Homo-oligomer: A and B are copies of this chain.
Amino acid sequence: MTSDFETQLRAVSLRVTRPRLAVLAALRDHPHVDTDTVIALVRADQPTVSHQAVYDVLRALTDAGLVRRIQPAGAVACYESRVGDNHHHIVCRSCGAIADVECAVGHAPCLTASDDHGYVVDEAEVVYWGTCPDCATDRTAH
């Protein structure tokens, strides 16, 4: 598993360092975490890692395509390690929880813009907004 991360890093020509392995491990175990949480998780394993290193690593991994950065409006940036499978997210308006949603159609016919204004579109991102089960229960229970 650790060696798996190592393989991933080498595949994109990135050096294998402890902070990077720790970040990848943290994201594997905790999907949809914000930067602060990543820092805390990494430090549980490697206490001397600076927050700057985590920001740096997350940027490097995002640029390399190993992790994906998601940032719903009004929330801080979150990261996840699932990439390349075209899935989307549901965000709770109340508590900010994020859940994965498989792309309903796979080949995404609906995600071709009707009028692209001359833009070259390379990705369509879908965010569903709603209320998560916990918050819905709270509201009903009042």
Contact = CB atoms under 8 A, between A and B. Distances in A.
A130 to B, nearest CB: 4
Nearest to A102: B114
Interface residues of A, number: 44
B104 A90 contact: no
Contacts of A117: 90, 99-101, 132-133
How many copies of this chain are found per oligomer?
A: 2
Contacts of A55: none
Contacts of A136: 118, 120
Interface stretch (A9-17, A35-43, A44-52, A105-113): A105-113
Given A70-B73, A71-B74, A74-B71, A119 B110 contact: no
